[in-house]
């Protein structure tokens, strides 16, 4: 059922009731009756019959009957069908009991009319007991008239009461008085399509209920084309109407009720308290102060249902009392959709009225409509798990006014794939005027469903006015809605989401359509009260529109005060449009992030704002920024600041485009600057105020109509904290900062940065090409460029002279040298360690190698005691055995292959640590000869390094040869050895230069080559070998000339940048010390510490910038330290495994390499 209104299923109750009525009324015709003559009847004996305690008389056509005891031994009722006029009185001791009334449903009292009869029950008064049905009906095509002038019960009736049928039925007064009890359904119905019924007054002061759990209590049912007119229905303050199963009171079909008053208690265990269905016309429904209407088990307390073409009307609904349960006005569930109209004149919950359940008014099937003139709440409405008030579908409300309290949730309810959770929720339809001076609260807690105090989906509100309190996870939310005038003079509060959220529904169906039909729009938005949010104050999704947003009150938020966003997935609308933002005097925006945030953050869709005006006395503040304009966003009208704008970073931050002037006569301030510009300001900046304006510009600021970039006209000052001067691509000239106005003496410049992108170096010969209109004494000496430092500027404020110098050490040339040197040194040390391990693996399986392989870096992988013949462990024998040598084993070849990974830190840009990594693979082979150990290796590696200004990606292919041999052994057993290595590499360089977000690239080949040799000595002590070593090395390289090519934007100066070919020849010495330890036969360790000393660390380089050729000499690190460790595990004679680390350190960086090595010998 629409809107979450759940109804009890009556299995086509209209049919059930009609059949029940027909069956019941037809039973009257079949009831056994006996009519006597001369006014004497067996049903009501004469007074001369002493055996009967009753009397009867006839006076012409009038029949009178009084019963004061048990009538006819409880075996028969009375029949009044033959008399035109009857009067029946049952005294307090009288009892009428129909035969077998509990089982066969015989009538206790019967009056039936046929054909064109006229029958009148003048007075029916019961003070006693009636057991059985009371049937008053026109049957068999009756076309006459039946009139019941007075039906008065103060006793007990156990059985159905049926009044109706065809023809004309008139009931004057039907009263169940105080103390009266009716235990059975009351049916008042017409049938055969032509019957009419008129009821002057239906009153209950006693108890009406039913012991039959399959029935309701009171039914007024009209079938087909007949009608029922009830002038007054009154359940008085002592009256109780209680249903065990179905409705308490039910009106169905063409029924008109002038007045429905309830001062008593109407309840239903399983059905509705009061139900209206079909073409019902209720002029006044009034639940008075002491009245209670209740439904249990989650059913509606009051419901009005319509189907097909019916047009029910509820002219006035008034509640002064208590309604426990839901109220539903909607189309019928079982009988299909509604094509007609439900009309509600005035729906009022008065100040002392309580509705403990949700109110649902909706069309969820069919093309029908609901029209509501006035919806007024002065009391309390609590929806519980459902909305407090929910309108759905094609519904029109002229006035919705709440001066009381409304709360509700509806967390789990949806319509058209959008949650409808809220205190007051509307999905579709129109409200002409929405006024809240009371309290509306959403109690929903599921944030993903956006429960709001007021939620409007696909709805139109002409005037929305709040002078009260609206609160929820969100305050007010509209999805694809339209609000012509939104005015808040009260408080709108959110607990976790936005206080006011405006969003779209789905994709724009026609991309050419402007504006999109599924966007939300507010024509005039005015805040004179308080908007308080745990997130954003006013949140507007991309694609939506607010013509004018005026703040005269307070917006306080923990995130952004006013913000624009993009949903991203289903919302594909092109832009958001905010006409103009006006902050009136004494208004304020206080935000935890940004006061006014014009940035959707997730997409490049456009957001346009027609202008911002902060009047004198108004303030905008944010912990990050006062006003923030994001990338690709636009402000098309002037920004005028007469009040105060402040932010933690800056008062105004612009990363988008401001195409109109910025005029400041108030105060704009921030922790970094008053204005931070990283975008475009097309009409300059004007300061007319008395305060200091601090400007930080990294974007583009163009001249105003007077030709000024910055104008200072007020008594205050302007301080340019930082300004980036760029080159105009069209003219090739610098965009000079033109300072003007009537008070340029109070303009000071702290720092100016010249953007190197597309720079003409000749423009740097005069400071006025960079900034003009300000005294050179007011310009600090911080004039620089934004590159890596290769172009340096020097400004003398006293003379006004600007000079330029080029430092190649800070250029891509210096970066490439530092990177190449670090790579070459790391690789040489690393390979020295790897090859030593591989070559000395022979010591595991070859006695021939013992004289040779003990030496290299102390990495002996054999237990020293293993070399002692006859398993002797005497240390004195070690030296003798090693020097004699034994050739019992034939391991002469070794092969290894291993991948490796290095993490390195190298200074690419000066004074900046640049991190990167290298991954590679090396394969090597060694062979054992009588003349020594010979090795060959080859490898490949890929290096990536990055910094703020440079990026270097290298791919290297390298190879080399290595030799090792023992020269001689001293008398004390120490071995003196020699080793040598020659290597070469091809490096494919990929250079990147970065200026801001601009990039230039170049590719060049480098060729490196080198040779090194070293001498060392092994000192053997028990299972330890200590090896000091010293050596000399030469490292050379040649790098091709290269020119930087712009690949994104312009990162080079005008005329280009070229680095010429370079030769690098470095000589160095090395010292190291190695400790080898033989712990167990299958566990050895080796540790090496050392340093390399560059003999000639000076490097020369030549380059061209534009038309300027430069040559520089700069220094590389003098000392480079290194360390190597190995954990060796011999597996058997053919295999050994080692875990290794190699590190290199100097003042410009460090490298860490780890690898696992497997060797195979044969």
Residue 165 is predicted with a pLDDT of 86
Q: Which two tokens stand for residue 536?
A: 């954003």
DSSP string, 942-986: EEEEE-SSEEEEEEEEEEEEEEEEEEEE-TTS-EEEEEEEEEEEE
Q: Does residue 730 or residue 610 have the better pLDDT?
A: 730
pLDDT at residue 1105 greater than cutoff 50: yes
Of 93-97, 132-136, 509-513, 705-709, the poorest mean pLDDT is in: 509-513
Q: CB–CB of 863/873 below 8 Å? A: no
Residue 505 is predicted with a pLDDT of 65
Do 779 and 880 fall into the same domain? no
Do 650 and 730 fall into the same domain? no
Residue 4 is predicted with a pLDDT of 35
pLDDT at residue 59 greater than cutoff 80: no
Residue 906 is predicted with a pLDDT of 79
Write out pLDDT tens, residues 799-827. Answer: 778 888 888 888 888 888 777 777 777 67
Count of domains forming the chain: 4
Peptide bond into 515 cis (omega under 30): yes
The phi, psi pair for 22, rounded to 5°, reads -60, -45
Q: Which two tokens stand for residue 1043?
A: 């020119």
In a domain, 1138, yes or no: yes
Look at residues 803, 834, 863 and tell me which one is the last residue of a structural domain: 803
Residue 104 is predicted with a pLDDT of 66
Q: How confident is the model at residue 828 (pLDDT cuts 50, 70, 90)?
A: confident
Q: Which of 509-523, 934-948, 1144-1158 has the highest mean pLDDT?
A: 934-948
Do 771 and 795 fall into the same domain? yes
pLDDT at residue 543 greater than cutoff 80: no
Residue 780 is predicted with a pLDDT of 86
Residue 890 is predicted with a pLDDT of 64
Which percentage of the chain shows pLDDT scores above 90? 52
The phi, psi pair for 811, rounded to 5°, reads -95, -175
Do 651 and 761 fall into the same domain? no
Look at residues 621, 637, 669 and tell me which one is the last residue of a structural domain: 669
Residue 566 is predicted with a pLDDT of 62
Q: How confident is the model at residue 5 (pLDDT cuts 50, 70, 90)?
A: very low
Of 269-283, 350-364, 623-637, 877-891, the poorest mean pLDDT is in: 877-891
Do 793 and 938 fall into the same domain? no
Report the pLDDT averaged over residues 832-861: 48
How many Å apart are CA 619 and CA 668, to the nearest integer? 10
Q: Of 417, 508, 400, 504, which is closest to residue 454 (Cα–Cα)?
A: 400
Residue 7 is predicted with a pLDDT of 35
In a domain, 375, yes or no: no
CB atoms under 10 Å from CB of 801, counted, come to 13
Residue 334 is predicted with a pLDDT of 64
How many Å apart are CA 552 and CA 772, to the nearest integer? 41
Q: Of 779, 780, 735, which is closest to residue 760 (Cα–Cα)?
A: 735
Q: Does residue 868 or residue 462 have the better pLDDT?
A: 462
Residue 1112 is predicted with a pLDDT of 85
pLDDT at residue 757 greater than cutoff 80: yes
Parent domain of 535: 498-669
Q: Which residues on neighbouring strands pair with residue 835, listed in sequence order?
A: none
pLDDT at residue 966 greater than cutoff 80: yes
pLDDT at residue 879 greater than cutoff 60: no
Q: Of 975, 951, 956, which is closest to residue 964 (Cα–Cα)?
A: 975
Do 752 and 636 fall into the same domain? no
Residue 238 is predicted with a pLDDT of 95
Q: Which residues on neighbouring strands pair with residue 463, listed in sequence order?
A: 433, 485
Do 790 and 822 fall into the same domain? no
Q: CB–CB of 500/460 below 8 Å? A: no
Residue 500 is predicted with a pLDDT of 94
Q: Does residue 812 or residue 452 have the better pLDDT?
A: 452
In a domain, 524, yes or no: yes
Of 486-490, 631-635, 716-720, 932-936, the poorest mean pLDDT is in: 631-635
Residue 130 is predicted with a pLDDT of 94
Report the pLDDT averaged over residues 57-67: 74
Residue 953 is predicted with a pLDDT of 92
How many Å apart are CA 685 and CA 682, to the nearest integer? 9
Q: Which two tokens stand for residue 272?
A: 């509705």
Do 910 and 1015 fall into the same domain? yes
pLDDT at residue 1019 greater than cutoff 80: yes
Residue 403 is predicted with a pLDDT of 98
DSSP string, 990-1023: EEEEEETTEEEEEEEEEEEEEEEEEEEEEEEETT
How many Å apart are CA 303 and CA 954, to the nearest integer? 79
How many Å apart are CA 734 and CA 764, to the nearest integer? 9
CATH number for 992: 2.40.128.130
Q: How confident is the model at residue 606 (pLDDT cuts 50, 70, 90)?
A: low
Report the pLDDT averaged over residues 786-791: 85
Q: Of 646, 654, 660, 741, which is closest to residue 700 (Cα–Cα)?
A: 654
Give 925's contacts (C-beta < 8 A, 6+ positions apart). Answer: 893, 894, 895, 935, 936, 937
Residue 1044 is predicted with a pLDDT of 93
Of 62-71, 503-512, 537-546, 925-934, the poorest mean pLDDT is in: 503-512
Q: Of 474, 324, 348, which is closest to residue 399 (Cα–Cα)?
A: 348
Residue 601 is predicted with a pLDDT of 58
Do 843 and 798 fall into the same domain? no
- Helix/strand/coil for 843: helix
How many Å apart are CA 54 and CA 51, to the nearest integer? 9
The phi, psi pair for 468, rounded to 5°, reads -105, -130
How many Å apart are CA 1005 and CA 1057, to the nearest integer? 18
Q: Which residues of 873-892 are buried (b: 16+ CB within 10 A; e: fewer)?
A: eeeeebbebbeeeeeebebb
DSSP string, 500-538: EEEE--S--S-TT-SS-TTS-EEEEEEE-SEEEESS-SE
Q: CB–CB of 765/801 below 8 Å? A: no
Look at residues 637, 669, 701 and tell me which one is the last residue of a structural domain: 669
Report the pLDDT averaged over residues 1011-1034: 91
pLDDT at residue 845 greater than cutoff 50: no
pLDDT at residue 681 greater than cutoff 90: yes
Strands, E assignment, 383-436: 389-392, 395-402, 405-408, 414-415, 418-419, 422-427, 430-436
Residue 192 is predicted with a pLDDT of 66
Residue 609 is predicted with a pLDDT of 81
Q: Which two tokens stand for residue 489?
A: 């003079």
Residue 832 is predicted with a pLDDT of 74
Write out pLDDT tens, residues 360-380. Answer: 999 887 788 999 999 999 999
How many Å apart are CA 110 and CA 123, to the nearest integer? 14
pLDDT at residue 513 greater than cutoff 70: no
How many Å apart are CA 473 and CA 277, to the nearest integer? 37
Residue 46 is predicted with a pLDDT of 30
Q: Which of 118-127, 447-456, 564-573, 763-772 has the highest mean pLDDT?
A: 118-127
| DSSP state for residue 70 in the 8-state scheme | B
pLDDT at residue 571 greater than cutoff 60: no
pLDDT at residue 909 greater than cutoff 50: yes
In a domain, 473, yes or no: no
Bridge-based pairing of strands 1083-1094 and 1119-1130 is: antiparallel
Write out pLDDT tens, residues 632-673. Answer: 778 888 899 999 999 999 999 999 899 889 999 999 999 999
Q: CB–CB of 693/644 below 8 Å? A: no
Alpha-carbon distances, residue 1109 vs 50, 784, 805, 1059 (angstroms): 146, 20, 11, 10
Do 562 and 543 fall into the same domain? yes
Q: How confident is the model at residue 141 (pLDDT cuts 50, 70, 90)?
A: confident
Report the pLDDT averaged over residues 8-33: 38
- Helix/strand/coil for 602: coil
Write out pLDDT tens, residues 181-216. Answer: 999 999 998 876 678 999 999 999 999 998 776 677
pLDDT at residue 771 greater than cutoff 60: yes
pLDDT at residue 558 greater than cutoff 90: yes
Residue 10 is predicted with a pLDDT of 32
Which percentage of the chain shows pLDDT scores above 70? 85
In a domain, 1128, yes or no: yes
Q: CB burial class (10 A; 0-12, 13-18, 19+) of residue 497?
A: buried
The mean pLDDT value of the chain amounts to 84
Put residue 393 in one of left, alpha, beta given phi > 0 → left and psi -120 to 50 → alpha: left
Of 175-179, 841-845, 1007-1011, the poorest mean pLDDT is in: 841-845
Residue 891 is predicted with a pLDDT of 74
How many Å apart are CA 1037 and CA 1065, to the nearest integer? 7
Do 535 and 662 fall into the same domain? yes
Do 620 and 572 fall into the same domain? yes
Q: Of 475, 466, 453, which is closest to residue 407 (Cα–Cα)?
A: 453
Residue 1061 is predicted with a pLDDT of 92
- Helix/strand/coil for 219: strand
Q: How confident is the model at residue 488 (pLDDT cuts 50, 70, 90)?
A: very high
């Amino acid at each position: 059922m629409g809107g979450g209104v759940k109804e009890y299923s009556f299995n086509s109750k209209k049919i059930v009731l009609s059949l029940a009525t027909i069956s019941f009324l037809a039973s009257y015709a079949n009831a056994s009756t006996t009519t006597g003559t001369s006014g004497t009847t067996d049903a009501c004996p004469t007074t001369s019959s002493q055996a009967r305690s009753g009397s009867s008389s006839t006076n012409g056509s009038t029949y009178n009957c009084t019963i004061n005891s048990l009538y006819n031994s409880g075996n028969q009722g009375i029949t009044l069908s033959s008399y035109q006029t009857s009067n029946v009185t049952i005294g307090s001791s009288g009892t009428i009991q129909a035969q077998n009334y509990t089982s066969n449903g015989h009538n206790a009292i019967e009056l039936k009319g046929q054909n064109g009869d006229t029958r009148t029950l003048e007075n029916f008064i019961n003070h006693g007991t009636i057991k059985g049905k009371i049937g008053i009906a026109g049957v068999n095509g009756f076309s006459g008239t039946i009139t019941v002038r007075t039906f008065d019960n103060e006793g007990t009736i156990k059985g159905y009461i049926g009044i109706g049928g065809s023809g004309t039925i008139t009931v004057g007064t039907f009263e169940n008085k105080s103390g009266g009890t009716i235990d059975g359904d009351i049916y008042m119905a017409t049938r055969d399509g032509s019957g009419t019924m008129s009821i002057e007054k239906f009153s209950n002061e006693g108890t009406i209920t039913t012991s039959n759990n399959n029935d309701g209590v009171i039914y007024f049912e009209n079938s087909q084309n007949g009608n029922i007119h009830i002038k007054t229905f009154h359940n008085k303050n002592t009256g109780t109407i209680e249903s065990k199963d179905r409705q308490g009171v039910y009106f169905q079909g063409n029924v008109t009720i002038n007045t429905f008053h309830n001062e008593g208690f109407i309840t239903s265990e399983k059905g509705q308290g009061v139900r209206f269905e079909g073409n019902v016309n209720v002029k006044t429904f009034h639940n008075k102060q002491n009245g209670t209407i209740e439904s249990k088990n989650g059913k509606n307390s009051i419901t009005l249902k319509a189907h097909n073409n019916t047009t029910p009307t509820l002219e006035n609904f008034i509640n002064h009392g208590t309604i426990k349960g839901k109220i539903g006005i909607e189309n019928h569930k079982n009988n299909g959709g509604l094509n007609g109209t439900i009309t509600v004149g005035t729906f009022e919950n008065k100040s002392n009225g309580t509705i403990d359940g949700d109110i649902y008014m909706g069309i969820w099937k069919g093309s029908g409509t609901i029209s509501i003139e006035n919806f007024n709440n002065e009391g309390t409405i609590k929806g519980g798990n459902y909305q407090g008030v929910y309108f759905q579908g094609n519904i029109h409300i002229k006035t919705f006014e709440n001066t009381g309290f409304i709360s509700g949730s509806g967390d789990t309810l949806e319509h058209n794939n959008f949650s409808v959770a809220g205190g007051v929720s509307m999905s579709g339809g129109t409200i002409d005027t929405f006024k809240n001076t009371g309290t509306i609260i959403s109690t929903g807690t599921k944030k993903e469903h956006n429960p709001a105090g007021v939620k409007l989906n696909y709805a139109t509100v002409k005037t929305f006015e709040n002078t009260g309190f609206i609160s929820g996870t969100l305050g007010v939310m509209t999805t694809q809605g339209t609000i012509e005038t939104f005015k808040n003079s009260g408080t709108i509060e959110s607990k976790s989401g936005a206080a006011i959220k405006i969003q779209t529904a789905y994709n724009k169906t026609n991309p050419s359509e402007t504006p999109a039909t599924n966007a939300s729009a507010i024509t005039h938005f005015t805040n004179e009260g308080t908007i308080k949010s745990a997130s954003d104050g006013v949140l507007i999704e991309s694609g939506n529109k607010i013509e004018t947003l005026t703040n005269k009150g307070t917006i306080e938020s923990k995130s952004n005060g006013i913000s624009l966003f993009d949903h991203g997935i289903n919302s594909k609308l092109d832009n958001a449009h905010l006409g103009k933002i006006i902050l009136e005097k004494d208004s304020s925006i206080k935000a935890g992030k940004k006061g006014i945030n014009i940035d959707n953050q997730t997409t490049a869709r456009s957001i346009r704002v027609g202008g911002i005006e902060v009047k004198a006395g108004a303030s905008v503040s944010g912990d990050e920024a006062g006003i923030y304009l994001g990338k690709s966003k636009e402000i098309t009208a002037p920004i005028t600041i007469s009040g105060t704008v402040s932010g933690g970073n800056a008062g105004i931050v612009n990363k988008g485009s401001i195409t109109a002037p910025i005029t400041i006569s108030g105060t704009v301030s921030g922790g970094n600057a008053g204005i931070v510009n990283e975008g475009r300001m097309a009409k300059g900046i004007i300061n007319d105020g008395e305060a200091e304006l601090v400007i930080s510009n990294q974007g583009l600021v163009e001249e105003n109509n007077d030709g000024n970039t910055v104008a200072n006209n007020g008594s205050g000052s302007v301080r340019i904290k930082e300004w980036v001067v760029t080159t105009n691509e069209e003219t090739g000239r610098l965009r000079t900062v033109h300072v003007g106005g009537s008070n340029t003496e109070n303009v000071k410049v702290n720092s100016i940065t010249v953007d190197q992108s597309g720079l003409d170096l000749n423009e740097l010969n005069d400071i006025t090409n960079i900034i003009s209109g300000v005294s050179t004494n007011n310009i600090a000496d911080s004039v620089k460029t934004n590159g890596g430092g290769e172009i340096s500027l020097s400004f003398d404020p006293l003379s006004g002279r600007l000079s330029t110098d080029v430092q190649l050490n800070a250029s891509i040339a210096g970066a490439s040298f530092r990177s190449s040197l670090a790579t070459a040194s790391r690789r040489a040390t690393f390979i020295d360690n790897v090859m030593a391990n591989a070559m000395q693996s022979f010591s595991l399986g070859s006695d021939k190698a013992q004289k040779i392989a003990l030496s290299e870096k102390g990495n002996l992988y054999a237990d020293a005691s293993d070399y002692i013949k006859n398993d002797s462990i005497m240390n004195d024998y070690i030296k003798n055995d090693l020097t004699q040598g034994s050739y019992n084993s034939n391991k002469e070849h070794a092969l290894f292959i291993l991948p490796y990974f290095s993490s390195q830190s190298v200074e690419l840009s000066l004074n900046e640590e640049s991190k990167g990594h290298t991954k590679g693979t090396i394969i090597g082979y060694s062979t054992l000869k009588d003349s020594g150990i010979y090795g060959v290796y080859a490898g490949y590696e890929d290096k990536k390094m990055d910094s703020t200004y440079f990026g270097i990606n290298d791919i290297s292919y390298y190879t080399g040869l290595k030799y090792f041999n023992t020269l001689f052994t001293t008398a004390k057993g120490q071995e003196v050895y020699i080793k040598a290595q020659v290597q070469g590499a091809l490096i494919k360089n990929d250079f990147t230069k970065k200026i801001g977000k601009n990039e230039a690239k170049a590719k060049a080949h480098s060729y490196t080559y080198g040779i090194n040799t070293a001498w060392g000595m092994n000192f053997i002590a028990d299972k330890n070998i200590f090896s000091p070593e010293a050596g000399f090395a030469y490292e050379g390289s040649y790098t091709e000339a290269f020119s930087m090519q712009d690949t994104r934007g312009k990162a080079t100066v005008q005329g280009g940048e070229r680095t010429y070919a370079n030769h690098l020849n470095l000589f160095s010495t090395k010292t190291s010390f190695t400790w080898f330890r033989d712990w167990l036969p299958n566990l050895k360790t080796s540790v090496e510490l050392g340093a390399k000393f560059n003999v000639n660390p000076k490097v020369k380089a030549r380059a061209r910038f534009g038309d300027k050729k430069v040559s520089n000499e700069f220094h590389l690190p003098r000392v480079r330290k290194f360390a190597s460790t190995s954990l060796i595990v011999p597996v058997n004679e053919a295999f050994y495994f080692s875990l290794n680390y190699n590190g290199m350190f100097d003042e410009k960086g460090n490298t860490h390499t780890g690898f696992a090595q497997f060797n195979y010998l044969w």
